[in-house]
């Protein structure tokens, strides 16, 4: 008997035993005389079901999860006898959590072999580049502009406008940089895509290079992501071998090549100018803007710096057209956003959907509330620099402007759920401490303000002159917000101010807390 199974090799699946499961399946198959073919894929993003094992059938893939190595034997027996199994989930595509998503950027992730160009092409890959090569560069940029795509790193700047600026700036060399320095806690979309569908990023960056006239691209990612680095590096070599990178891409007259650069544990290098300093081999000090990177970027040359999710949306836009993308979303937030639901949550994972879904739907309905079963008290949206939202704001739609209007940000699309055991003064202090650890030190508000902020919140926690110290923290937050050179110092005020505004009762002499979630 021949069986065709899929087991993820995504880091999130590996961390919960996917390799052990694959190994146990092989051993169990050997004992049973079954010929087993296991394809290692990325993750579907339904992390509470990882390791998720899928079986190829004529009707589609049938999922089983979460599988442990101890389940391998019974799972094969159930498959062979066509019998029931406690972990059987039915057709994966029919799982409501997956079915109600709109997967444009993540269309292939978890389905294909990440390093198979054949698989990638069979699932629509490289059609975007094919079309881009039939268009003049300004028409490519017009298409991106018309799609309404905005920077998925958090700032939400229109991607087409950025590209146009670089295209119109004359220089002997230009660069394209992918910011894959995904440092925000609660985010993992970049990692998933690099591990699960690396060619979509290569294709998106190649299109960008052609559009703006750049011949070299860098993918700057984190040392905390060794699996993503390995997969991305292999994918680049494969694309090069296949003539999709290097001279005369896909038989055209364009030249474009890519290189992966690894950071070294500095959060601030996710800020685009610090990132460029880091690639240039220097301390990750933020540069003052202007000049904009589009005029004066990497090695002083015009540079497009986009988030990984922005580049990865490009192949769809070029293949299906700007309108197909812009038809999704609300207001000025067009297309889809890969939202990451994490922390103390029952159904955590990657949920790609059109902008406009409310925070409450994401947390309660899709996330299923907390894993501990206690009430949700706060959710932090947008990473360590994002605001903490109380339940009262759960009607906020997921949209750049709607979050900004409520003194928050969607950032890179991460949502971290906390239950009622959370101490919000502690979280506010952590935000200041994190800023102090990660500050590049160039500007005073961030370098000194963060340390002073952490000290002052500690005094509040001890019950030391609480009203005066709260006023001091608020004043400090304003200084950080208005006086910092970049978003690290500037946005540290969001988690602190939101904690103070919505959870004021936590700021004072520390009460004996509820048992911490475990």
Partner 1 sequence: MTPVYETWEAARGAQIIAEHSKVEGATLVILHALQEAFGYVPEDALPMVATALNLSRAEVYGVFTFYHDFRARPAGRHVLKLCRAEACQAAGGDALAARAEAKLGISIGNTTPDERVTLEPIYCLGLCATAPSAMLDGRLVGRLDNARIDALVSEAQR
Tell me: does residue 435 bind partner 1 (CB under 8 A): no
Which range touches partner 1 (CB under 8 A), out of 142-150, 246-254, 355-363, 417-425?
417-425
Nearer to partner 1, 144 or 345 (CB): 345
Tell me: does residue 197 bind partner 1 (CB under 8 A): no
* Closest separation in Å from C-beta 31 to partner 1: 27
Cα 16 → chain centroid = 20
CA distance 269 to 263: 8
CA distance 486 to 274: 10
Contacting residue, 61, 108, 152, 191, with partner 1 by CB under 8 A: 191
CA distance 171 to 214: 10
> What DSSP letter does each residue of 336-365 carry, written as one string?
EEEEEEEES-SS-EEEEEETT-BHHIIIII
> Cβ atoms within 10 A of the Cβ of 323, count?
12
* Closest separation in Å from C-beta 12 to partner 1: 5
The pairing of strands 333-334 and 329-330 is antiparallel
Contacting residue, 6, 106, 311, 418, with partner 1 by CB under 8 A: 418
- What part of residues 21-40 is at the interface with partner 1 (CB under 8 A)? none
Number of residues that bind partner 1 (CB under 8 A): 62
Tell me: does residue 384 bind partner 1 (CB under 8 A): yes
Nearer to partner 1, 304 or 345 (CB): 345
CA distance 370 to 173: 50
CA distance 500 to 502: 6
* Closest separation in Å from C-beta 507 to partner 1: 18
* Closest separation in Å from C-beta 340 to partner 1: 7
Tell me: does residue 449 bind partner 1 (CB under 8 A): no
CB 191 within 8 A of CB 11: yes
Write down the H helix ranges in 406-492. 424-438, 444-462, 466-483, 487-491
Nearer to partner 1, 393 or 431 (CB): 431
Nearer to partner 1, 380 or 479 (CB): 380
Nearer to partner 1, 131 or 191 (CB): 191
Tell me: does residue 3 bind partner 1 (CB under 8 A): no
Tell me: does residue 281 bind partner 1 (CB under 8 A): yes
Tell me: does residue 434 bind partner 1 (CB under 8 A): yes
Nearer to partner 1, 160 or 453 (CB): 453
Which range touches partner 1 (CB under 8 A), out of 11-19, 200-208, 287-295, 323-331?
11-19
* Closest separation in Å from C-beta 78 to partner 1: 24
CA atoms in the 13 A half-sphere facing the CB of 135: 22
CA-to-CA separations, 257 to 208, 280, 297, 301, 429, in angstroms, rounded = 12, 17, 18, 17, 44
CB 344 within 8 A of CB 417: yes
> What DSSP letter does each residue of 113-155 carry, written as one string?
-TT-HHHHHHTTTTHHHHHHTTS-HHHHHHHHHHHT-B-TTTT
Tell me: does residue 180 bind partner 1 (CB under 8 A): no
Contacting residue, 126, 199, 267, 398, with partner 1 by CB under 8 A: 267
Tell me: does residue 344 bind partner 1 (CB under 8 A): yes
* Closest separation in Å from C-beta 26 to partner 1: 20
- What part of residues 211-230 is at the interface with partner 1 (CB under 8 A)? 223-226
Nearest to 293 by CA among 179, 170, 166, 178: 166
Nearer to partner 1, 98 or 341 (CB): 341
Torsion sign, CA atoms 121, 204, 109, 28? positive
- What part of residues 120-179 is at the interface with partner 1 (CB under 8 A)? none
Nearer to partner 1, 188 or 316 (CB): 188
Q: Which residues contact 467 (CB under 8 A, 6 or more apart)?
A: none
* Closest separation in Å from C-beta 391 to partner 1: 15
Tell me: does residue 283 bind partner 1 (CB under 8 A): yes
Helix axes 198-212, 159-168, angle to 10 degrees: 40
CA distance 92 to 98: 8
What are the tokens at 309?
């999710």
- What part of residues 284-343 is at the interface with partner 1 (CB under 8 A)? 284, 299, 340-343
Nearer to partner 1, 442 or 481 (CB): 442
Tell me: does residue 411 bind partner 1 (CB under 8 A): no
Contacting residue, 3, 4, 16, 250, with partner 1 by CB under 8 A: 16
CB 61 within 8 A of CB 6: yes
Instruction: For residue 204, report the phi and psi dihedrals to the nearest 5 degrees.
Output: -60, -40
* Closest separation in Å from C-beta 422 to partner 1: 7
Which range touches partner 1 (CB under 8 A), out of 80-88, 102-110, 157-165, 422-430?
422-430
Nearer to partner 1, 188 or 254 (CB): 188
CA distance 222 to 265: 7
Nearer to partner 1, 380 or 456 (CB): 380
Binding site for partner 1 (CB under 8 A): 11-12, 14-16, 47-48, 50, 182-188, 190-191, 223-226, 261-267, 278-284, 299, 340-345, 348-350, 371, 380, 384, 414, 416-419, 422, 427, 430, 434, 438, 440, 516-518
């Amino acid at each position: 008997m021949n069986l065709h199974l899929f087991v993820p090799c995504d880091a999130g699946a590996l961390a919960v035993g996917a390799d052990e499961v694959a190994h146990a399946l092989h051993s169990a198959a050997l004992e049973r005389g079954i010929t087993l073919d296991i394809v290692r894929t990325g993750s579907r993003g339904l992390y509470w079901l990882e390791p998720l094992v899928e079986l190829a059938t004529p009707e589609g893939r049938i999922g089983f999860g979460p599988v442990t190595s101890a389940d391998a034997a019974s799972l094969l027996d159930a498959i062979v006898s066509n019998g029931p199994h406690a972990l059987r989930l039915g057709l994966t595509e029919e799982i409501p959590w997956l079915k109600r998503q709109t997967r444009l950027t993540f269309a292939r992730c978890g389905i294909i072999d990440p390093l198979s160009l054949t698989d990638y092409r069979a699932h629509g890959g490289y059609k975007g580049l094919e079309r881009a090569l039939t268009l003049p560069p300004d028409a490519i940029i017009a298409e991106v502009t018309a799609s309404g795509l905005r920077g998925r790193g958090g700032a939400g700047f229109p991607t087409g406008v950025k590209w146009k600026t670089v295209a119109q700036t004359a220089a002997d060399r230009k660069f394209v940089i992918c910011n894959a320095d995904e440092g925000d806690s609660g985010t993992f979309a970049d990692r998933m895509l690099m591990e699960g569908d690396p060619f979509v990023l290569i294709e998106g960056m190649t299109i960008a290079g052609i559009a703006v006239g750049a011949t070299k691209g860098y993918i700057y990612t984190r040392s905390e992501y060794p699996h993503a680095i390995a997969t991305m590096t292999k994918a680049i070599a494969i694309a090069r071998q296949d003539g999709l990178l290097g001279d005369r891409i896909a038989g055209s007259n364009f030249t474009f090549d890519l290189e992966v650069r690894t950071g070294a544990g500095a959060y601030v290098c996710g800020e685009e100018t610090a990132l460029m300093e880091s690639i240039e081999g220097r301390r990750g000090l933020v540069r003052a803007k202007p000049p904009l990177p589009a005029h004066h970027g990497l090695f002083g040359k015009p540079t497009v710096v986009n988030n990984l999710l922005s580049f990865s949306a490009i192949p769809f836009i070029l293949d299906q057209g700007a309108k197909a993308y812009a038809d999704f979303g609300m207001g000025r937030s067009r297309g889809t956003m890969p939202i990451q639901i994490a922390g103390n949550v029952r159904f955590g994972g990657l949920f790609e959907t059109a902008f406009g879904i409310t925070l409450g739907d994401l947390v309660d309905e899709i996330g299923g509330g907390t894993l501990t079963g206690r009430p949700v008290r706060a959710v932090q949206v947008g990473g360590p620099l994002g605001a903490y939202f109380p339940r009262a704001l759960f009607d906020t739609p997921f949209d750049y402007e709607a979050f900004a209007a409520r003194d928050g940000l969607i950032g890179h699309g991460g949502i971290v759920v906390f239950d009622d055991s959370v101490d919000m003064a502690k979280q506010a202090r952590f935000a200041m401490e994190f800023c102090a650890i990660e500050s590049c030190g160039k500007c005073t508000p961030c370098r000194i303000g963060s340390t002073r902020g952490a000290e002052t919140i500690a005094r509040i926690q001890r019950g030391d002159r609480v009203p005066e110290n709260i006023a001091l923290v608020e004043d400090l937050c304003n200084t950080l917000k208005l006086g910092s050179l970049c978003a690290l110092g500037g946005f540290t005020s969001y988690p602190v101010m939101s904690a103070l505004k919505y959870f004021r009762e936590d700021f004072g002499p520390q009460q004996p807390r509820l048992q911490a979630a475990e």
